[in-house]
Amino acid sequence: MTQIEFIYNLDSYEEGLSLILDKRYKNQKTMIFCDNAKKSHELSDSLWKQSGFYPNIIWSEQLSSNHVPSEDFLIGDQFNKNFDELLINASGQECLFFSRYEKTVELVLTSDDEKNSARDRLKKYKELGYEVKLIDAIN
C-alpha cells in the first residue's frame, strides 16, 4: 500500500522540494506531479539551481510511457512506469494515479485554497484506508 505523507506550511513548492529531496529522496526515480506547463518549467528551473544535483526532464507529448530517461526526476502530469518509487504532488490538486507509487508526498502551501484542497485530499486518503503522516515544515 502506498505510504502517504503531507508536508504543510510551505511558502512555495520550490521550498518543499529543497527541504526534502537531498535529505530523504536522493537517487530515487521520482515523479513530480505538476498540473501545468508553466509551473513544470518553474520547478525544473528551481531544481537545476539548487545546490544538490537534481537532473530532471519535463513530461512532453514526445515521451512515451515506455521511455526510460536517464534523469532521476520527471516533472509533469502523466504516469510513467519507470518513475514509480516516489510521487511528489506539487499541484495543489488530487493526483488520480498516486496509488501506483511506493510513496506519495503531498506539498501543502500556506494559502487558504491550498489548505482546503489538502484537507479534502487528506480526508479521501483516510477514507480509502491509508495511514497518513503529517509534517509541519516550520518545525
Domain boundaries, the chain: 3-60+69-136
Given this model, what pLDDT does residue 110 score?
A: 96
Quick: pLDDT tens for 34-86. 988 899 999 999 988 887 788 888 887 566 666 677 888 889 888 878 888 89
> Based on C-alpha coordinates, what's the Rg of the chain?
14
pLDDT at 84: 82
On whether the 3-60+69-136 domain is CATH 3.40.50.10110, my answer is yes
Dist. CA 33–CA 66, nearest whole Å? 18
pLDDT value, residue 116:
97
Cell numbers 494559502: residue: 111
